[in-house]
Structure formats: C-alpha cells, structure tokens
Amino acid sequence: MNHYELAKEILVLVGGSENIAQLNNCATRLRMNLKDESKIDLNKIKELKGVLGAAKKSGQYQIIIGTDVSNVCDEIRKMGQITESSESNQKNGKLDALMDIFASIFTPVIPAITAAGMIKAILVICVLFGMNKESQVYTIFNFIADAGFYFLPVMLAFSSAKKLGCNPYLAVMMGGILLHPSFTKMVSAGDPVFFLGLPVKLVNYGSSVIPIILAVWLMVYVERFADKISPKPVKFFMKPTLTILIVAPIVLIVLGPLGSYVGTVIATVTDFLNSRVSWLVPMLMGAFMPLLVLTGMHWSFLPILMTSYSTYGYEAVMGPGSLVSNICQGAAAFCVALKTKDRQFKQQASSAGITALMGITEPAMYGVTIKYRKVLLSVMLGGGAGGFYAGLMGVVRYTSGTPGLLSLPIFIGDNPMNVIHALISCLIGFCITFVLTWFYGFNEPETGGAVELDKSKDTDTGKQVPKSKKIIIYSPVNGRKVKLSKVNDETFAKEIAGKGMAVEPADGRITAPFDGEVVTVFRTKHVIGLRSSEGVELMIHIGIDTVELDGKYFTAHVEDGDMVKAGDLLMEFDKQAIEAAGYETVVPVIVTNTGSYLDIITSEEGAVESGQPLFTVL
C-alpha cells in the first residue's frame, strides 16, 4: 500500500478530516486528537498494511507507521481541510492532558532541532578530515545550524499557539519581541531598564524554552478578554493590539524572567546529576524506558531535553538510556525468534528485532517483550547495565532523533569517543539481554501431549481442560463479565499486563477470588495484588485512570501481607461518585504471571455474582 492509499484508509477509519482536531507526526508515529472519538475504529487501523500498531496514549491517538510517517501525514492533509482545534469530546485525566500538551508543543519542532544537530555533527566530521574552522564554508553552515536553536522560542510560539488555542501569528510576534536586536543590545549593555517604573530583567531569551510557553499561555486568556471587550466595528485592529500591549510587558517584567529562572533550575539540576552521579539517570532510563513509553510518560521529559539542548548543545537525560533500551528490545526479539518453535511467531519476532535495532521498538515491545514478563525484565536489566556504562563514560546525545543504529550520528560531537562509548553501551545491553532472555526470560510452553486432558468440558466454554492444572478464579465483584478486548484501555485490551477478564460492577464491593495472600494494596487503593495458594498472581484493577483520584472514594479492608479466604471483603469503592467524576469503573481481573501457565480460558460474557467462576487457569 502506497502513502496515498494508506492515508485514505486511515482518514476513513478516523471519521474523516472534519473529525480531526489536531494532526502531527514524530519520527515514527502519526499523532492526532479527534473531535468525536466514537468515530474511530482502532482495531481496523491496526490491521492496515503499513501500520505497525495503534494506540491511545496520553489523550492522543498514535498510529505507528515508521520512517514514512511524514509522507502519510502530508497525504492526509492534502485530502481534506483539517480545522485544527484544541478541543475534544473526550475527557482526559490531568496527567494525560499535560502529556498531550507537551507532545503537541514539542513534536512539531523536533525536525528543526534534528536538522540543526545533524549539521553540527557533519561539521565535526568535516573538521576531523581537515576543514578549517575559520573558513567561510564552516562559518555559514555553523550559523545555519545555530539558527535552529537560537530561534527555538519563535518555533515553540507557533506550536504552543496551535495547541493552546490563540492566534499563532501574535504568538510568533511575541517570540520575535523576546529576540529583537534592540532588546538583545540592552541585555549586552547591562544597564538597568525600566518600563513605567517597573524593572525589566535583562535576560537573553535566545534558545530558551519555558518563557515563550508561559507567554503563549497568558496570551490565550488575554486574547479572549480582548475579544470580549472589543466592539465589533473595531475588533479587527483593537483585539490584536490590546493582546500585545497587555502580554508583552507582563512577559518582559514577570513571566519571561520566571521562565528563565525555571529553565536555569532545570539546567542546574541536570548539570548536577551529570557531574556528580553521571551513571544514575542513563541507568534508570535504560531500565525503565519500556514502561515510560508504554504509559506515555516519556513526553514529560521534553522540556528538560529542550532546555539541555539550548543550554549545553547536548542532553544526557534520555538519549543514552533510550538508545541502549531500543537495542535491548531488538536483542530480546532476536533471542525469542531463535528459541521459539512457532514459525509465524519466529518471523514476527525476527522482523521486530530488526526494526528495534533501527530505533522503532513498538513491534518488538507490543508483539514480543511485553507478552512475557521475564523477557521484559531481561530487557530492563540489559538496558540498565548498558545505561550505567553510558553514564560512567559521559555519553551524550547532540540532537533529537529516534535512537538506533541508523541514527548513531546524533551521538557524534566534539568528543570523538562519545559515539564509540555509545556503541559499547549498546553491545553491553545487547549481550546481557540476549543471555538473560535465553537462559531465564523465554521458555516456550510445551503443548504436545504433555498435559492430560479431562474428558469433561469446562462448563462455561465447552473446552477440554487439563486435569492436573485446572485453577478456577472466581469473580471478585457482582456485575456483568466482559472480555478484556472491550476494556477502554490499551494495556488491558491487548493483554499487555496479562490475560484474564473484566467485570462491569453492579456495586462497590471487591472480595477475594480465592484463598491466598494480599501481595500489595496500592497507595491509591485502585489496585490490589494477590497471590493464590497455587501460585497464581492476580491483579484487580478498579476503574480506568482512577489512579488520578489518589485514593478518594476507596476504602481498603486489607493490608499488604494479609492472608485471605475466598469471599473475604478486600475493598469498597463509591461507584456513583467515581463515575460522576468522569471515570469508568470497569474492573479488569488479570493473571500477571500468565506466561507461567498453559492458557487462560475465559467464560462467556454475561451476569455474574461475586464468588461465581470468572475464568480458568490451566
């Protein structure tokens, strides 16, 4: 399927161009916010040839296409007028909304930052081969690269305005005000400057990040105010004039210096970590990057990365660790491909391994590593080890880009050993992950005649089940049982956390589904972890995104380490209050150590009472 055909199919399945509130792309993913989310058919999108995967993350629909994503995005824009808006009919949690804002503001400017960084890397290579730094060719290319960083406030002004909902050209004007030569001369002179008696702090806003975002945030409210008070006959010129006259002084006197101070704090903390415990952050990133990507939390680091690029010309927060993590995903996928006897899975894992080494980890993550907890743990341990080495050696990334073998030039800079140490850290991570996956992580279940089948059939499914390993999990709540695929959360619907079933609760009482131990009651009380006497590890997750309630409306009746009997009361929650707050109360019941068992046989959908069979573990 070519770019045009793929774009046409995607456009139909998201409800047409008129349903797209926002559209952009990063290195591998098409990202869009929709006005009416009921119109999208995510399952059919996943089945399209050319689509590697699709999910809703951080309040945004993400369609994984690969390096051709920009071409598909361009084709979609050509097919219909997209009236971009910051509104959506879907209520997202505060954390999701914040991640969505970060993604929408920073993603559009990444190509410019990447181009600037790559030109810098090319200049370094040219100097190594004899180019004179004083030559005019070097000077011209150097200021071309510098422009991508120096005018970052202008680019962020435009993307911030598009996301937050104000006039993008007034926002760009505000970015120009911060970088105007007259103001920069004042900064260079250092003489005190006052505006109507108020001191204007002299700050160099070139390459800054936080000040312009704060400025555009203020402009959203000021522009609305100016629109309300401006009479219709003169609104055309009065509204923008009032907006700039109000916003510009406030930014120069208050918000600009405040944003500069925040940026300085971020840079200082980053510098402290890099100089005192340089191994810590890359090690943690290398280990936990799969979980950050899975939850969308990696977007929260974008302001830190941009601040580091603009301050130092490089970053060591995410780049080194994410490079190693991506390579470890490939190592695990290749190992699984070698060990598995399933031909189809072998081909899938091999292909996923190749794309992971190139920096696109979604096929490996969703198709291989997350399906097996021990494989994922092997990836995390390998990533942590490689990240530890990268941190000790001071590996940094000089520009943004999807970390992988094809993008190693983003690690080329003034220190010629930087890219060498990056490669060594990848080798460490690859080897450790491969060995751990081979000997510990992946053990394919044997199904050929090893288990004696009971001649009787499961009462709910009609399937034969093993006589010696049949463990019934009972429903922990009254309500209606549904398949996990119908749960409005990708982690559960795709069985990433494990197999099981969900219950739409009729009341707010959660009881023990078997005899066993309470392993953990989360601080926010929305999740209970249990272990049965037979060793089944079970997670009862009350609601979707209810972690944001921080324990409100939940009452725990057990603690970590308590022993319980089937039917004992574990938790009570206020179903009506939670739903009134905008959250779903469906209760997924997940076997988190699914990989330790032959199969999970679910029952038919329908009414269920607490204590009745929900599914069977084989």
**Residue found by looking up tokens 């794309």 in the block:** 355
Average of per-residue pLDDT across 408-425: 89
Which residue has better confidence, 204 or 444? 204
Beta bridge pairs of residue 56:
61
**Contact by Cβ (8 Å): 575, 588:** no
Q: Are residues 181 and 254 in the same domain?
A: yes
218-232 confidence digits (pLDDT tens): 999 999 999 999 988
Joined tokens for residue 349: 């894992």
Joined tokens for residue 24: 């952009």
Separation of alpha carbons 563 and 450, rounded Å: 33
Return the number of other C-beta atoms located less than 10 Å from residue 506's C-beta: 15
Most distant CA pair in the chain, distance: 92
Q: Is the pLDDT of residue 24 over 60?
A: yes
Residue 174, exposed/middle/buried by CB under 10 A (0-12, 13-18, 19+)?
buried
Q: Considering the domain boundaries, does residue 369 fall inside one?
A: yes
Give the residue from 411, 441, 471 where a domain finishes. 441
Q: Are residues 347 and 411 in the same domain?
A: yes
**Contact by Cβ (8 Å): 304, 270:** yes
**Average pLDDT value for the chain:** 84
Separation of alpha carbons 486 and 498, rounded Å: 15
Q: Considering the domain boundaries, does residue 528 fall inside one?
A: yes
Q: Does 26 qualify as catalytic in the annotation? A: yes
**Contact by Cβ (8 Å): 136, 129:** no
Q: Considering the domain boundaries, does residue 298 fall inside one?
A: yes
User: pTM of the entire structure?
Assistant: 0.56
Q: Is the pLDDT of residue 463 over 50?
A: no
Q: Are residues 397 and 534 in the same domain?
A: no
Q: Are residues 239 and 332 in the same domain?
A: no
Separation of alpha carbons 82 and 59, rounded Å: 19
| N-to-C CA span, the chain | 41
Q: Is the pLDDT of residue 52 over 80?
A: no
Give the residue from 384, 414, 441 where a domain finishes. 441
Average of per-residue pLDDT across 295-311: 74
Bridge-based pairing state of the strands 537-541 and 606-608: unpaired
Domain that holds residue 389: 280-441
Which residue has better confidence, 512 or 98? 512
Q: Considering the domain boundaries, does residue 481 fall inside one?
A: yes
For residue 441, the SS3 value is helix
- What is the structure's pLDDT at 296? 61
**Contact by Cβ (8 Å): 349, 337:** yes
Joined tokens for residue 536: 């089944």
Separation of alpha carbons 397 and 316, rounded Å: 6
φ/ψ (deg, to 5) at 70: -65, -35
Residue 119 backbone class (left: φ over 0; alpha: ψ -120 to 50; beta: rest): alpha
Average of per-residue pLDDT across 566-582: 90
Give residue 199's identity as a one-letter amino acid code.
P
Percent helix, strand, coil in the chain, to 5, is 55, 15, 30
Q: Is the pLDDT of residue 314 over 90?
A: no
- What is the structure's pLDDT at 263? 78
Handedness of CA 189, 190, 192, 198 (dihedral sign): positive
Q: Are residues 375 and 436 in the same domain?
A: yes
For residue 475, the SS3 value is coil
Q: Considering the domain boundaries, does residue 135 fall inside one?
A: no
**Contact by Cβ (8 Å): 204, 259:** no
Question: DSSP character for 488?
Answer: S
Q: Is the pLDDT of residue 524 over 80?
A: yes
**Contact by Cβ (8 Å): 109, 152:** yes
Beta bridge pairs of residue 613:
474
Closest to 145 measured CA to CA, from 121, 180, 129:
121
531-543 confidence digits (pLDDT tens): 888 888 899 999 9
Instruction: Give, in degrees to the nearest 5, the angle at Cα 585 between 579 and 589.
Output: 175
Q: Are residues 82 and 203 in the same domain?
A: no
Q: Are residues 501 and 599 in the same domain?
A: yes
Q: Are residues 348 and 374 in the same domain?
A: yes
Residues 6+ apart with CB under 8 A from 29: 62, 63, 64, 65, 69
Residues 6+ apart with CB under 8 A from 288: 380
Separation of alpha carbons 323 and 29, rounded Å: 18
Q: Are residues 554 and 586 in the same domain?
A: yes
Q: Are residues 305 and 434 in the same domain?
A: yes
Separation of alpha carbons 278 and 271, rounded Å: 9
**Residue found by looking up tokens 């006052």 in the block:** 194
**Residue found by looking up tokens 């009236």 in the block:** 83
Give the E-state strand segments of 483-551 in sequence order: 499-505, 509-511, 516-521, 527-532, 537-541
Beta bridge pairs of residue 57:
60
61-70 confidence digits (pLDDT tens): 888 776 677 7
Q: How confident is the model at residue 351 (pLDDT cuts 50, 70, 90)?
A: confident
- Provide the number of structural domains found in the chain: 4
**Contact by Cβ (8 Å): 387, 286:** yes
Q: How confident is the model at residue 465 (pLDDT cuts 50, 70, 90)?
A: very low
Which letter, b or e, does each residue of 323-345 get, where b requires 16 or more Cβ atoms within 10 Å of its Cβ?
Answer: bbbbbbbbbbbbbbbeebeeeeb
- What is the structure's pLDDT at 528? 92
Q: Considering the domain boundaries, does residue 127 fall inside one?
A: no
Nearest-Å Rg of the Cα atoms of the chain is 27
Give the residue from 247, 276, 305 where a domain finishes. 276
Separation of alpha carbons 116 and 44, rounded Å: 38
Q: Is the pLDDT of residue 195 over 80?
A: yes
Span of 75-89, 110-124, 157-171 with lowest mean pLDDT: 75-89
- What is the structure's pLDDT at 179? 92
Instruction: Write down the catalytic residue from 26, 73, 328, 335.
Output: 26
Q: What is the CATH number of the domain that holds 45?
A: 3.30.1360.60
Give residue 222's identity as a one-letter amino acid code.
V
Sheet containing 554-556: which strands, arranged edge to edge? 509-511, 569-573, 554-556
Q: Considering the domain boundaries, does residue 267 fall inside one?
A: yes
Q: Is the pLDDT of residue 449 over 50?
A: no
CA 389 distance to own-chain centroid: 25
Q: What is the CATH number of the domain that holds 565?
A: 2.70.70.10
Long-range contact set of residues 170-173: C-beta below 8 Å, sequence gap at least 24: 170/219, 170/223, 170/240, 170/243, 170/244, 171/212, 171/215, 171/216, 171/219, 173/244
Q: Are residues 296 and 179 in the same domain?
A: no
Q: Are residues 488 and 606 in the same domain?
A: yes
278-299 confidence digits (pLDDT tens): 889 899 999 988 888 766 667 6
Q: Considering the domain boundaries, does residue 186 fall inside one?
A: yes
- What is the structure's pLDDT at 450? 36
**Contact by Cβ (8 Å): 532, 541:** no
- What is the structure's pLDDT at 57? 67
